[in-house]
Structures are given as C-alpha cells and as structure tokens.
A and B are shown apart, each in its own frame.
Chain A
Amino acid sequence: MPAARSIPHRHFDALIIGAGGAGLNAALRLAEADLRVAVVSKVFPTRSHTVAAQGGVNAALANVLPDNWHWHMFDTIKGSDYLGDQDAIETMCREAIPTVYELEHAGVPFSRLDNGRIYQRAFGGQSQNFGGEQAARTCAAADRTGHAILHTLYQQNLRAKTHFFDEHFAVDLIRDDEGAAIGALVLDIESGEPLIIEAKTTLLATGGYGQVFRTNTNAFINTGDGMAMALRAGVPLQDMEFYQFHPTGVAGKGMLITEATRGEGGYLLNGEGERFMERYAPHALDLASRDVVSRSILSEIRAGRGCGPQKDYVLLKVDHLGADVVHQRLPGITDICRVFLGIDPAKEPIPVFPTAHYAMGGIPTDRHARVVAPARHGPEEVVPGLYAAGECACVSVHGANRLGGNSLLDILVFGRAAGADILAYVAEHPNHRPMRDEHIEPAVARLARWERQGDGERVADVKAELRRLMEDHCGVFREQATMTEGVEKLKALRERVEGVRLRDQSQTFNTARIEALELDNLVDVGMATLMSALHRDESRGAHSRVDHTERDDERWMKHSLYSRDGDRMDYKPVRTKPLTVDSFPPKPRVY
C-alpha cells in the first residue's frame, strides 16, 4: 500500500457512492445542472440491485381506482407501525406523483391501460379512504419495474454525461477535523490502485445488506458497505432491528417472488389446502402487510400445517389467474419458476418461505437526505457535506415495516431530494475544504490491514459463520436468550476477523480482497442489527419478540441509534408532526 501522500487525487463537486436508483437519480439531477459529478460503483451501474425490483413503485395516480396521496400517507404510517417519521412520509407520498411522471418522461416502459395511462396494480397494505377498500397504487412495468427504472436512469445519465467510476470499491469516507465529509478513498478493482476522490459533498447510496443472512433475496453485492462506512466515520445507524423478511422467497433457495403475484389475485395455501390468511388478516387476507404475512406463514409451519414431505413451506397459488395474466403480467416470475423450480406457475403452485429481504433501518437522514447524527445541539445535527439515500438510509419513511412498492419510491424521491440539496450546498460552499494526510490515513490503514500475511482463518469461512449466526439468532421471531447468545457469539467472531488472512495478494481484479473488505462491513452491520434488536423489548412491525408480544408506545415509540464505539445504544423521538396535514396518532394495527 502506498503512503497516503502518494495516492492520486481527483476533484468533484459531488461524489455519489452507489449506482442504483437513489444514486443515479441524484446524479442525473446534478449532471443536468452542470455540476461535476462522480458516481463510484463496485459493479457496472446496471448490475446494481435496483435491477432486481419486480412489482412496482407506488404513487397515487388514481389511474385504476380512486386514490389520493393522503391515503397513501396513512397506509405508509400504519404499515410502519407508527415508527415512520410523518414529515418524511408526507414528502414521499406527495412527491410520488410527479416522480413517476418524470420517470415515464425519461423513458421507463411502464405497462399501460387501454386509455394509454400507466398500469397500476394492487399491493399489500394499500387502502382507499384511510383504511377502506383495497387500492391499486403500484405502477408497474410487468414484473420487471426495477430493471426498467435502473436502465432508464443509467441511460439518462449517459445523455447528461455523468462521470462514472465503474468497478471501483469505496473503502472509507474521509472527514476533516470539523467532521465534514470531504471525499472518500476508493479502490480501482481492475488495477488494484487506490484513488482519493475529493468532493464538496458525498452521497452514500450503497443499498442494503441482505448478505448478512444465510438465505436472502439479495444480490451478492448487498453487503452494507455505506452503512458500515458511516459507522466507522462515527455516524450511528438508526432502527437496524427492523429487517423485513419477504413472505414469498422461493423455498430453500431465496429468490424473490414478487408481491404482485398476490396483487394480481394469487393467494397462499397451507398443507391442508386452506387459505390460512383468513385467520390472520380477515379483511386484507393475502394483501396484509409483509410482516403480518411472514409471521402467519411461519405460524402455520410451526403448527405442523406446512407443505411437502418436511412440511417446511407453503404454496403460492396463481394458476387460477390463467396463463394470459400469469405470462403477461408476471413474465419474470414465470422465468424464475421455470429455471429454478422447473415448473410453470400458470399450471402449478409455487413453494415459498419467508426470506431476508430489506433493511428499514440505516444511516439517519432528514427529509432532504442530509445525514443527521447526535451532536452538541441535539440528536439530529446535520453532518456537513454528507448525504444518504435509498436502502442504506433511514429517513425514516418505512419505520418498523415497509410496504411493497415503497422502496423504489423511497430511492427515487430521496435520491432526487439529495440532488436538490447538494445543488444548494455547493452553491453556498463553492470551495473544497482542505484535505490533509492525517484525514486519509485511517482509510488507508483499513486497506493496508488486508496486506498482512501468514496463517489465519479464511474470509469465506468467517462469512459463512456470520450468516448462519444472524439467521439463527435474529430471524423473524426473536427472544432475549437467543439474541443475548447471538451478541456474545458475534463479539467473539468480530475479534476473530482480526486474525483472518488473505492468501491472494495480487493487484489485478482481486475479488478476494473485495470480499474481505465486505466482510468487515457485514460484521459491523450485523452487530448493529443484533444489538438494536436485543435492546428493544417490544414487538413492532418486523421486529417480533416472542417474550414481548405487544407494541409498547409508552416506552418504545422512538428510534434506536447504534454506535460502533462501545456498541452503544441511544434513542431519539419519532417525528409525529407532518408538514401540512394532521398527525396520524398510533392505533392498533389490524388488516
């Protein structure tokens, strides 16, 4: 590893780390305003995990059924089990409408209705008129909406001449003495050379961390890189105990089967052929919130009513919809079933099981995507120059449970908001803050650590153990004893990472080195998740405690903040005041 002072520097107005929907929507806005924008991505941009989003993006366009952004707001707050911040949720639901039109204008090939308008389908947790009849709010491009959006955003960034650093891995943020973000150390994966990108503003848009769980719907690249970078920079992570298990992953394998299957009229069956959701959500049935459906499936299986020889999954039935609907509205699902299960979903039901899917928690931000952390003047002081958006951020619009169709919306709205705020920030702060060698050295040390040679454990072995540990100790149902044991084991594992050695010390396209750096990140976000979960002794949204089964608004209507320094837990209040409408006070949550 070269000394800090010999690493080359590049200069940009804005550095964006991550090229999924959030990063690219921010980049587009900035490049169109003629800022110098660098997008750093460890994969070619269209490989980012946004590409795998299936069902669609929510916006109250009212193309199919009556709708209103205020109803969308109510559903989102109820879905969040009242932990979401109502100012941010109002922003998201209002902005959804122009955001989807903007995407359409950019070229997204949305499916269409007969009158030429954008096709919208029903999704879980959606209602008309504040809890009334089912709404149809999810705008879709068949069941490949994420792919359609990501490719369109990348294409528009090509037009806008955004500067891409493809296949560059961000090692760590660089902060100055005042704590301002002034850039990042990145590694060119192909050459193995480090590079320092100095930037007036830095946006973390690195996505989720599903790889911390053994069975998940996520891509290999979803390793919590931005979240861990924030932790190492002294920023806490918010609400990390809230991790969504999607009800319908392919049993035993994990690939996602979109909620659109149920939105189009599919339903779940147990081993006795019953539509068991009738027992758990008599009104919404199979379109109850994801946390509710996942728990219902597991309850059925635990009661011995699973399907198959081991009674260890349930069936998702769509064959009654007819081959036309299945193949036209759900072509991607048809492919997944054909390739991985050898079945045609238009003829046979799909074996499914709840699977680790999405982080509601992340880097705390305000509704302008500015990172906020506890400091001298309170729990939400802006970190100068630092932004976060998308799954790696916690605005918080999803609270304790995210509704389907709100994640594509989150990345687009808050990616765009980050772009708008960065424009204003750069106008006010036209100069780079000075960067000195001592600001860079911690990041360089992290990279150099993996050059230690000799005998030691292997990255792959420790990673596999971590993934099993998280699945065993922090799954859908949680309790004190197993989580306490989990934290002890994870602390021991974290110690062992120090002794892990990389055999491959080559420079060119060394993927083993990237996986080692990712292991550091996974361990940090895993600890944030387990610690936050252990301390919250209530059940809310996706965080379900068998030893504390009720929601406790008195003690727990507050956000968790985990800091890496001393594995410390802090808390801050939920923002219950919207911007222009009345608050939605907490109510019992039934579907």
Chain B
Amino acid sequence: MTITISVYRYQPDSDSGSTSSASASKPYMQTFEVEAAPGMMLREALLAIKEQDETFAFRHSCGEGVCGSDGVNANGTNCLACITPVADLKQPIQVRPLPGRPVIRDLVVDMTQFYEQYRAVEPYLIRKDPLPEQEIRQSPEDRDKLDGLYECILCGCCSTACPSFWWNPDKFHGPAALLQSWRFLADSRDQATEERLDALEGPYKLFRCHSIMNCVEVCPKGLNPTKAIGQIKELMLEQSV
C-alpha cells in the first residue's frame, strides 16, 4: 500500500540538487508517494522521502519519543514524528515545520527563542543550605509532585502551538519553560521559591497565558503545562497574602 505525503520545502541556498524545478527561494509543498509498512510511524515515512530525495531535511534521532528532535506539524497538529502512526493521519498527509518559528530549511526551524525562554526560568535546582554528605531526603509523596513535570523533552510542540507564544516569543516564557519553572517550584529540595516567583512578575512572562490549552492537547508526553501555570499563579497568590 502506498501513502501520499505532502511536505513543506524551503531551500535557502540555490545549489542544492533538488529534483524540483520550483524556485529555490520560495517555500512550496512537494508530494511524495511512500510505501507503507504495518505500524509505520511518520518518522519512517519522512526517512523514506529522504531516500527518494536526499536534499529533504528534518531533525530526528532516538526514534522512540525521548530525545525530542522531531517535532513537526502534521495535518495541522504538532506532534513527534517518531511516535505518530501514519495510519492515524488522514491522507494526503500534510507535514509542515512547527508553526511560528523561522524556517531554516524544509522542516527544520530555528528554536533559539524557545531555548532562550527555557534558560530564562533558571531551570536548575537552587540550594542555599549546606549540602548533606548523602542524599537530600525527599518523601515519596514530595517526589510524586515532580511526575508530569520532569519528563519534558523540550520538543517544542507546546510552545509553538501557543498563540500567546506566537505573538510574544521574546517576552512570554511559553508553556514549556513555565512547566520547567513549576518543576523546580514544586521540588521540595529547591530553596529559591521567592526569587523564582518575583522573576515571573509583570504582564508578559507568565500572565500572557490565557488558558487556551493548545499545549495540553499537543504534548506528546501527555504533560499539562496549563495546569502547571495555574499552580504557579495560585502559589503567587498564596505568597502575596
């Protein structure tokens, strides 16, 4: 059985040996026929396209949904190509780069601002007390609070599905970074709650979230950034009274 896939093409330099006659400087959709195998994932279909045309570029690596390289937009929804079965996608499948980010080439987008927002929330454990000789104790209940937070793979599916991030990618942290912010606020070992909350003040960084919940819908790991954002807001309120 063959399947039909249309992929977004954009080749910024002109000397690539693409088989297409379309102008190199303008983006276009190119259709490929790919032989489908049972259980085939979208990543394998994209690899089959690359077999036909080596100039086709996309990021991918682990093939099992843990490295977060192959976030793409398939039929209008952000997903990880390696864990999205082609059988679940209506044909012809339309594969585009993650929305709202500058395109470098084909499905490869520039994630610089996404990573900048991640760095901006100081995503690391901050301890002020002297460290014990052994582990810092943490109860299983406190550890459970990190489930649903630490598993983020930074694929960017959420933030690039968020209208608030599309409008203000330089000012609004976006769902991925805010999920990380809550991951450290929720960690019983972290001792920088006040500083973390103070840094989130203002109309943009946190408060541009309007609970549209696109992030929750697309997260390939089943995480819930909207809920995390709500919990940050609640904690802010608690601390201010």
Contact = CB atoms under 8 A, between A and B. Distances in A.
Contacts of B55: 503-504, 506, 512
B46 to A, nearest CB: 11
B124 A503 contact: no
A115 interface: yes
Contacts of A515: 54
A105 B131 contact: yes
B66 A44 contact: no
Contacts of B115: 44
Contacts of A43: 59, 61, 67, 69
A331 to B, nearest CB: 8
Contact of A512 (B39, B54, B111, B119): B54
Given A49-B61, A105-B135, A144-B151, 14 more contacts: A44-B111, A49-B67, A61-B134, A112-B139, A158-B119, A158-B123, A159-B122, A220-B62, A221-B61, A339-B83, A460-B50, A505-B15, A506-B17, A510-B57
A48 B106 CA distance: 23
Interface string B80-112: 000100000000000000000000111010010
Contact of A117 (B16, B63, B104, B135): B135
Contacts of B167: none
Given A458-B54, A460-B51, A503-B17, A46 B139 contact: no
27 contacts: A49-B61, A49-B62, A49-B67, A51-B62, A105-B127, A107-B189, A109-B146, A112-B139, A112-B142, A116-B138, A118-B135, A147-B153, A152-B125, A155-B124, A158-B124, A159-B122, A219-B67, A220-B62, A221-B61, A339-B65, A458-B54, A503-B54, A504-B17, A506-B17, A507-B13, A508-B13, A508-B105
A35 B162 CA distance: 39
Nearest to A148: B150
Contacts of A510: 16, 57
A510 B15 CA distance: 11
B216 to A, nearest CB: 17
A61 B108 CA distance: 44
Given A47-B67, A159-B122, A506-B13, A104 B135 contact: yes
Interface string A97-140: 00011001111011111111110000000000000000000000
Interface string A37-54: 000000110111101100
Contacts of A155: 123-125
Given A101-B133, A336-B64, A109 B187 contact: yes
Nearest to B119: A158
B92 to A, nearest CB: 24
Contacts, number: 155
Contacts of A411: none
A219 B124 contact: no
Contact of B124 (A101, A141, A159): A159
Interface string A397-427: 0000000000000000000000000000000
Nearest to B139: A116
A345 B112 CA distance: 39
Contacts of B146: 109
A235 B153 CA distance: 36
A340 B15 CA distance: 39
A509 B105 contact: yes
Contacts of B111: 44
Interface string B10-49: 0111011100000000000000000000010000000000
B143 A509 contact: no
B142 to A, nearest CB: 8
B83 to A, nearest CB: 5
Closest 9 A/B residue pairs (Cβ): A107-B125, A116-B137, A506-B16, A155-B124, A512-B54, A509-B105, A503-B17, A47-B67, A219-B62
Contacts of A116: 135, 137-139
A509 B111 CA distance: 14
A141 B149 CA distance: 13
Given A105-B127, A113-B140, A47 B68 contact: yes
B1 interface: no
Query: Which among B17, B115, B151, B189 has the highest number of chain A CB atoms within 10 Å?
Result: B151
A502 B139 CA distance: 56
A553 interface: no
A113 B119 CA distance: 31
Nearest to A147: B66
Chain B interface extent, by class: 35 or more
Contacts of A144: 66, 151
A508 B104 contact: yes
Contacts of A336: 64
Contacts of A61: 134
Contact of B136 (A105, A113, A141, A503): A105
A460 B139 CA distance: 51
Interface of A: 43-44, 46-49, 51-52, 61, 100-101, 104-107, 109-118, 141, 144, 147-148, 151-152, 155-156, 158-159, 190, 219-221, 255-256, 332, 335-336, 339-340, 458-460, 502-512, 515
B104 to A, nearest CB: 5
B39 A340 contact: yes
A416 B39 CA distance: 42
B60 interface: yes
A48 B153 CA distance: 11
A332 B125 CA distance: 24
A51 B67 contact: yes
A51 B151 CA distance: 11
Contacts of A109: 143, 146, 150, 187
Contacts of B15: 505-507
B236 interface: no
Nearest to A100: B135
A118 B12 CA distance: 50
A459 B54 CA distance: 9
B67 A117 contact: no
Contact of A147 (B16, B57, B151): B151
A460 B54 contact: yes
B154 interface: yes
A59 B146 CA distance: 23
Interface in B110-130: 111, 115, 119, 122-125, 127
A551 to B, nearest CB: 35
Contacts of B64: 52, 255-256, 336, 339-340
Interface string B195-235: 00000000000000000000000000000000000000000
A111 B139 CA distance: 9
A189 to B, nearest CB: 9
A155 B184 CA distance: 12
Contacts of A51: 62, 66-67, 153
A508 B12 contact: yes
Contact of B61 (A159, A220, A505): A220
Contacts of B140: 111-114
A340 to B, nearest CB: 7
Contacts of B136: 104-105
Contacts of A509: 57, 104-106, 108
B194 to A, nearest CB: 18
B16 A111 contact: no
Contacts of A148: 150
A109 B143 CA distance: 7
A306 B16 CA distance: 49
A107 B135 CA distance: 10
B57 A511 contact: yes
A159 B125 CA distance: 10
